[in-house]
Chains A and B, each alone.
Chain A
Amino acid sequence: MGSVMQVVFDAASLGSLYALAALGIALIFGVMRLVNFAHGDVIAACVFVLLWPSVDAVAIVFAGNLPWFLLIPFVLAMGALLSVLSEIVVFRRFRNANPATMMIASFALGFVIRYFLLMLYSSRPKSISLLPELSQPVEILGARIPLLQVITIIVTIAVLFGLVAFLRRTRFGLEMRAAAENFTMARVLGVRANRVIMGAFALSGALAAAIALILGSQTGTANIVMGANVMLMAFIATVIGGMGSLAGAVIAGFALGAIAVVMQVILPPDARAFRDAFVYGAVILVLIFRPQGLLAARGTKERV
């Protein structure tokens, strides 16, 4: 029983991470058809804003020493700010470019952020202790689960409910949903393009910051490439979820996390090194049978 619960919690917390990241990508794709590959580097940058710039191996914690009720809003705000800035400085110029051009621009921006971090902090991973009180285990149904895992899952569920309420109940949410489905028509009805897009970037950046907090406390390190793996998985989740479908991205994110954790358990020990190959194999299978993704977004569906 205890080991099964352990697997369930591992799967749910890894899936939460992927789901949050996939949401950040799907939100922006929904309103401007941009696959933002800089998202992973924004995640990394959000960890580094807690440190004072230095190339030493020992991290000089700066904002990371704030009490949690200031730390969390600070990181979320920094994520939103960085993301909105990337829109104003970079992506706004590519508003009418084709999706491939925008994607390449996002790669370029990702490299700029990464090398900027490299310049200020060096490429050496730094050990940090972020919210250390969260690494204590709690006992749930016979399994000893790190408190952080429980919090990750709870935070993800809260974020999802909050986002749904925001999209369904607020004027801004209505405008965002309309714009995600048919951007031009929304503008013809007076919806301000810049406002909606900046809102999507701000939300996406705040989600990246939430992931940064979780990853930072989970791994206890700050590494300039720490967002890359999550970004890759999240991108795959948005593709198999159906590009632009928020619900699809979340479901696929959780599914990918679950598959990865379950593979780790059921694969014979010799094959575990190739776990990711099996995960990607499952992705290929999904795409063979449902090339449009699990939940195809309406905006990208062929209109009859």
Chain B
Amino acid sequence: MSLLTLANVTIRYGRLMAVRNVALSMAEGEILFITGPNGAGKSSLLRAIAGVTPPSGGRIDFADHDITGRAPEDIARLGLSMVPEGREVFGSLTIEENLMVGTGMHSRESGWKARAAEALEEIYVTFPILKDRRHSQAGLLSGGQQQMLVIGRALMTNPRLIAIDEPSLGLAPNITDQVYERLIALQASRKLTLLIVEQSSTRAMMVGGRMILMRGGEVVLDGDARKIGQSDAMQAAYFGYGDH
């Protein structure tokens, strides 16, 4: 039973074809890396899944709902939380306010305030630095802290799937290590499904799990991250020799 299914998804910006006929399916609890060079269509695909820029063709299903072209807030309410590239914290809001924005979607349910407070405590246990600075403006945090904040903010919505765009962007390698360590721990403890976009496949090979490789808007490889990492096909996808 798959949680997320993409069928023939195509994304066009004017005459430019960013994503071409991508089919993809993710099971609940799975970790999937989407890797590939710049301009491969990875971010476009993520934005289409989250409803930020709807696909021009094809169909996307999440948790037994057709979410093709649905509004981002509706998709978020089904339990799919996207963390966009560049982190996008609300810089003028405090850290705690940032974390609380996404809890409003449950405000119709009874006892949501208590649950939100509980979720907040959990986030603070995972990321103690956020607790220490919870009343300061989010714009003042360092890049690594902002990355932890946006992951925490996504978790506060209590999602089934988190889709993260380039969590390592602009971070020092040891900070990236920390971010991934917590992400993987959270995935295991909450049975989260993780969809991670990274330009480099190194991280996917370190973490393991499934990896797909995109190039020119198409999926060129799909399989076990560690196996793909050692194959010649990956070299071809990045450096462009082979049958392209």
Q: Is the CB of B72 within 8 A of A188?
A: yes
Q: Is the CB of B50 within 8 A of A177?
A: no
Docked CA distance A243–B102 (Å) = 26
Does B105 sit at the interface, judged by CB under 8 A? Answer: yes
Q: Is the CB of A190 within 8 A of B105?
A: yes
Q: Is the CB of B93 within 8 A of A190?
A: no
Q: How many residues of A contact B (CB 8 A)?
A: 19
The answer, among A171, A182, A187, A298, for a CB contact under 8 Å with B72, is A187
Does A160 sit at the interface, judged by CB under 8 A? Answer: no
Interface residues on B, range: 20 to 34
Q: Fill in one digit per residue for B59-82: 1 if any A CB lies within 8 Å of its CB, else 0.
A: 000000000000111001100011
Q: Is the CB of B76 within 8 A of A190?
A: yes
Q: Is the CB of B101 within 8 A of A175?
A: yes
The residue on A at minimum CB distance from B50 is A188
Question: Nearest chain B CB to A168's CB is how many angstroms away?
Answer: 9
Does A134 sit at the interface, judged by CB under 8 A? Answer: no
B71 partner residues in chain A, CB cutoff 8 A: 187, 193
A181 partner residues in chain B, CB cutoff 8 A: 90-93
Give the residues from 41 to 56 in chain B that come closer than 8 angstroms, CB to CB, to chain A. 50-52
Question: Nearest chain B CB to A30's CB is how many angstroms away?
Answer: 11
Docked CA distance A174–B93 (Å) = 9
The answer, among B73, B77, B101, for a CB contact under 8 Å with A174, is B101
Docked CA distance A181–B153 (Å) = 16
Question: 21 A-B Cβ contacts within 8 A?
Answer: A174-B93, A174-B100, A174-B101, A174-B104, A177-B92, A178-B90, A178-B93, A181-B90, A182-B88, A187-B72, A188-B50, A188-B51, A188-B82, A189-B76, A189-B102, A190-B73, A190-B102, A190-B105, A190-B157, A191-B102, A191-B105
Can you add 14 more A-B contacts, CB < 8 Å, to A187-B52, A303-B86? A178-B93, A178-B98, A181-B93, A184-B72, A185-B84, A185-B88, A187-B76, A188-B51, A188-B76, A189-B81, A190-B102, A190-B157, A191-B102, A193-B71
Interface residues of B (CB under 8 A from A): 50-52, 71-73, 76-77, 81-82, 84, 86, 88, 90-93, 97-98, 100-102, 104-105, 107, 139, 153-154, 157
Interface residues of A (CB under 8 A from B): 171, 174-175, 177-178, 181-182, 184-193, 298, 303
Instruction: Give 4 closest A-B pairs by Cβ, nearest first.
Output: A190-B105, A189-B102, A190-B76, A187-B72
